[in-house]
A and B are shown apart, each in its own frame.
Chain A
C-alpha cells in the first residue's frame, strides 16, 4: 500500500458568505493522474489553488506526503503555518495556470532557468542545460531567446509547462490550461500533457473541460458539484457509466 502524496481531510472553503467547498476528502497516490471536472463555480480550481497555497482553506487539513500544509507544530500545538513552513512543504508542487503567467521581462529560456537558480540554488550552467532540454521536449528549442509576447498562446502554455517541470515537482497542477487558448491551439498543449503523463512518476491533478482528454489521460476522475465530490472513480466509470443525474446532464451539455 503506497502512502498518498496528497491528502485532503474535510476541507472547507468559503469566500465571504459563499461556501465554495463543503467538505472535500481526497487521496492522491504518487504518479496518479486525476482529472477534476464539474460545472463552473463548483470549486474545482479552488481545490488546486489551496494545494498551491494561493488560497487558504477555511477549515480542514491538506497534507503533502505526511506534512500538514497549512498548519505547523509549535510547542506541541498546531498553529497556522508561516511562510517558511509553506515554502518547505509546497516545494514538491508545481502549477500551470490558465493564463500562463509567464514572466514578460524574461526570455523563455530565462523564464525556465530563473527558479532553478534562485529557488533551488542550482549552478547556472546546469539550470541552463536542463531548461534547454525541457524546452526542446515541449517543442520550443528554436525559441529560446524569444520573449513571451512573441509567442502564440499554445507556445506560451508549453513554456509555462517547461518552467514548472524543470523544478521537478512530485505533484503537478493544471488549472484549465487550455481554456484561454484558441481552439486550434488546444491540441498541441494537450499533446504535451499526454507525453508528460506517459513518463509516469509525477502525480497530476488536471482541472479541465476536455472530457475526451480526461478519459484518455486520467486514472481517476472527480466530479465536483455544489462544493462536494459528487462522484469519483476511474475515467470510464465516471464519464461513461455513471448513474448520477447531475453528472449526466453536465456531460450532456458538454457533448452537445
Chain B
C-alpha cells in the first residue's frame, strides 16, 4: 500500500476527531426531535376528524417518499426564499429540522405498530375503570406499547447516526466535513475518510450491543411473555 501513510493518518486523526462532537450532538438532537415529533404524527392521525387524518397521512407519505438530502437542501437553500414564512436557518438547525422531521415519520410508524399491538381488552379495561383520556395513554397504553418497540427505535438511532453525514453537504462541520476539508487541503483523501469509517464503526457497533442489552432489560421489567408476543406483532 504505497499510498497509505501512517504519518498522514496520525496527522489527520485529531483534526477529523474535532468534528465528532458535532456529529454525535447532531445525531442525538435529531433523534430527540424525531422521538417527540413521532408522537405529534400519531396524535394528529388519531384526532377524530377524518379530513385532517387524511392530510396528515398524505404529508407523512410525502416526507417519506422524498430523499432526506432533497429535504435538507430545501430547508437550507429554498426555505429562506419562500415569501412570508421563509427564514434563514443555521446549517445545524436546518439539519435538525430536515433529518428530524424525515425520521419522525418512521418513528411515528414504529409507535403506531406498538400501539396497535396493545390488546383491545386493555382499552376496554381502561374504559371500564373510567380513565380520562390522558391518563389512559400515559398509564395504560403507552407503557405497554413502547417497550416492545425499543429495539426498533434503537435501530433508527443507528440509522440516523449513519445519515447525519448528509448534513456536511449544507456545511455542518461533522467528521465527514472535517475529513473532506483535510482531503482537499492536502490532496489526500484515503486516510481521513478511513478515519471517518472507523469512527462510525467504533460508535455504531457498541451502540447496537447497548440497545440489545436495553431491550433485554425492558423485557425483564415488563411481563416477559406479553412483551415478546406484542413485539413480534409489532415487527411483522
Partner of B144, one of A87, A93, A105, A119: A105
Indicate whether B140 reaches chain A with its CB closer than 8 angstroms: yes
CA distance A160 to B77 in the complex (A): 59
Q: What residues of chain A lie closer than 8 Å to B144, measured between beta carbons?
A: 103-105
Q: What residues of chain A lie closer than 8 Å to B135, measured between beta carbons?
A: 118-119
Q: Mark contacts of B130-169 with chain A using CB atoms, 8 A cut-off: 1 yes-contact digit, 0 otherwise.
A: 1111010001100110010000000000000000000000
- Among B3-11, B21-29, B120-128, the stretch that binds chain A is B120-128
- In angstroms, how far is the closest chain A Cβ from the Cβ of B165? 38
Beyond A87-B130, A118-B131, A148-B223, is A105–B143 a contact (Cβ under 8 Å)?
Answer: yes
Partner of B223, one of A115, A149, A167: A149
Beyond A115-B131, A148-B223, is A97–B122 a contact (Cβ under 8 Å)?
Answer: no
Residues A104 and B139 in contact, CB atoms below 8 Å apart: no
CA distance A163 to B124 in the complex (A): 14
Q: Mark contacts of A109-124 with chain B using CB atoms, 8 A cut-off: 1 yes-contact digit, 0 otherwise.
A: 0000011001100000
Beyond A97-B124, A118-B139, is A167–B129 a contact (Cβ under 8 Å)?
Answer: yes
Residues B125 and A103 in contact, CB atoms below 8 Å apart: yes
- In angstroms, how far is the closest chain A Cβ from the Cβ of B195? 44
Residues A149 and B122 in contact, CB atoms below 8 Å apart: no
- In angstroms, how far is the closest chain B Cβ from the Cβ of A228? 26
Indicate whether B216 reaches chain A with its CB closer than 8 angstroms: no
Most buried by A among B139, B144, B222: B139
Number of interface residues of B (CB under 8 A): 23
CA distance A104 to B133 in the complex (A): 19
Q: Mark contacts of A59-103 with chain B using CB atoms, 8 A cut-off: 1 yes-contact digit, 0 otherwise.
A: 000000000000000000000000100010011011101011111
Residues A147 and B223 in contact, CB atoms below 8 Å apart: yes
**B residues 187-236 in Cβ contact with A at 8 Å:** 222-226
CA distance A83 to B48 in the complex (A): 12
Residues A90 and B130 in contact, CB atoms below 8 Å apart: yes
Indicate whether A164 reaches chain B with its CB closer than 8 angstroms: yes
Indicate whether A56 reaches chain B with its CB closer than 8 angstroms: no
CA distance A167 to B128 in the complex (A): 10
Q: What residues of chain B lie closer than 8 Å to A54, measured between beta carbons?
A: 124, 127-128
CA distance A91 to B129 in the complex (A): 8
12 A-B contact pairs sorted by A residue (CB < 8 Å): A54-B127, A87-B132, A104-B222, A105-B144, A105-B223, A115-B131, A118-B131, A118-B132, A118-B135, A119-B129, A149-B225, A163-B129
Chain B residues packing against A (C-beta within 8 Å): 119, 121-122, 124-125, 127-133, 135, 139-140, 143-144, 147, 222-226
